[in-house]
Amino acid sequence: MPTSHQLFYEPISGHAFNGDLSQIVVSNSSPLTHVMKKGADGKYAEGHVLDQHLERVTSVDWAPKSNRIVTCAGDRNAYVWNFQEETGTWIPCLVLLRINRAATTVRWSPAEDRFAVGSGARLLSVCYFDPENNWWVSKHIKKPIRSTILSVDWHPSNHLIAVGSCDFKCRVFSAALKEMTDKPQTSLWMPKLSKFGTLLAEFDSNNGWVHGVKFSPSGNLLAWVAHDSSVNLVNSANLEKVHTVLTSNLPYMCLLWLSEACFVAAGHNMAPDLYYGSDDGIVFGSKLDVKKEKASTGNMSAMARFQKLDVQGSTETEGTTLTTTHANCITEIRSIGTANNKVTKFSTSGKDGQVVVWEVDSICSAIAGLKI
């Protein structure tokens, strides 16, 4: 069974764990960001409050190797937080985003030497550290983005980035910085060396905002989910062929690859769903949230039924009892454990104020025939 942590009663906009999973950083519907520590009882308690922002914090990310936190908010700012051992406090470092609209999402690169911030300013800010002035500066990718950026994801190479936005497009850009003396290698995504901001691929997403994008562990596959309830997949070996499945579910908001062959998507259905992706297309696997058992009333006598109806008013509970662990939309999925290039544990957070930890092995054992 998944482990649920009711951290708040307000919607959680973002969460991230540190390297050893002993701490979690969470942003809710306020300008405050909470760093919480895991106690001996397995519950998380308030450790530090990061209070530099003036508007609601929209996204957070924690670099596990360098132990740095980055936050962005509706006040058009972002901060990098460094932990100071001497004082036991988190110290903010200014980021020069140079945007005129709210920041919406932020992600560290795999090498943790830069991060990307999406915003409502119709541009992507790729930020890197300037040691001379002791601040983080940004370079902008503008064209051909025409609307708010909702999601970003870094390629494992550290030099490519995927962007999903409200103009119904999913795009892949070159993010190699000459300021960082990058030496990117050519690949199927980038057949020839391209300068920063070069558009490498662009895909239509029917009629839906692109809520989530994610590269596979190898970086060869790219999947994204959109507000038209679609799940999409493309292989870098054939960028002209995009596989799209229009599901009957409510829209997904986020996704995560569990292995090179499958990924989970979650959103307004309040439960993660498993999909298998390959060159042949996308196949639905299974719902990963095991339904709760309903109480049986099959042996109740007619007299007992009337007595219960007289006391409670109704004996029917179908449609009023939640059968999912989350009680509202899931907005983010994080990988928090891997082995043999497969995710063994992941976490979800949502608008119900919960962070839920899912053990992949226990899910597979609960659902017969499930393979990751």
Residue 372 in any domain: the answer is: no
Within-domain flag for 167: yes
DSSP 179: G
Distance CA 336, CA 357 (A): 9
Bridge partner residues of 172 (DSSP): 162, 201
Strand partners, 129: 136
Q: CATH number of the domain at 191, please.
A: 2.130.10.10
Q: Please check the confidence at residue 298 and state whether its pLDDT lies above 80.
A: no
- Tens digit of each residue's pLDDT (9 = 90 or more) over 21-49: 999 999 998 999 999 999 999 999 999 99
Which residue, chain included where needed, has tokens 């494992």? 156
Read off the tokens for 59: 């996204």
What does the pLDDT read at residue 296?
43
Averaged confidence pLDDT in the chain? 92
CB-CB neighbours of 23 under 10 Å: 20
The pTM score is 0.91
Residue 293 has pLDDT above 50, yes or no: no
Can you give the residue range of the structural domain that contains 315? 3-366
Residue 202 φ/ψ, nearest 5 degrees:
-145, 130
Angle, CA of 153, 218 and 264, to the nearest 5°: 60
Q: What is the pLDDT of residues 109-164, one digit of tens each?
A: 999 999 999 999 999 999 999 999 999 999 999 999 999 999 999 999 999 999 99
Domain-embedded: residue 371: no
Would residue 306 count as lying in a domain?
Answer: yes
* Cα 303 from Cα 315, distance rounded (Å): 13
**Could you tell me whether strands 89-96 and 135-141 are parallel, antiparallel, or unpaired per DSSP bridges?**
parallel
Per-residue confidence at 309, pLDDT binned at 50, 70, 90?
A: low
> Which residue has tokens 């020069």?
96
Is it the case that residue 19 has pLDDT exceeding 70?
yes
Query: Is the residue at 111 inside a domain?
Result: yes
Whether the Cβ atoms of residue 177 and residue 139 lie closer than 8 Å to each other: yes
Q: Kindly state whether residue 347 falls inside one of the protein's structural domains.
A: yes
Strand partners, 265: 255, 273
Q: Domain for residue 122, yes or no?
A: yes
Number of domains in the chain: 1
Q: What is the pLDDT of residue 300?
A: 62
Residue at 143 is within a domain: yes
At residue 31, φ and ψ (nearest 5 deg) are: -75, 0
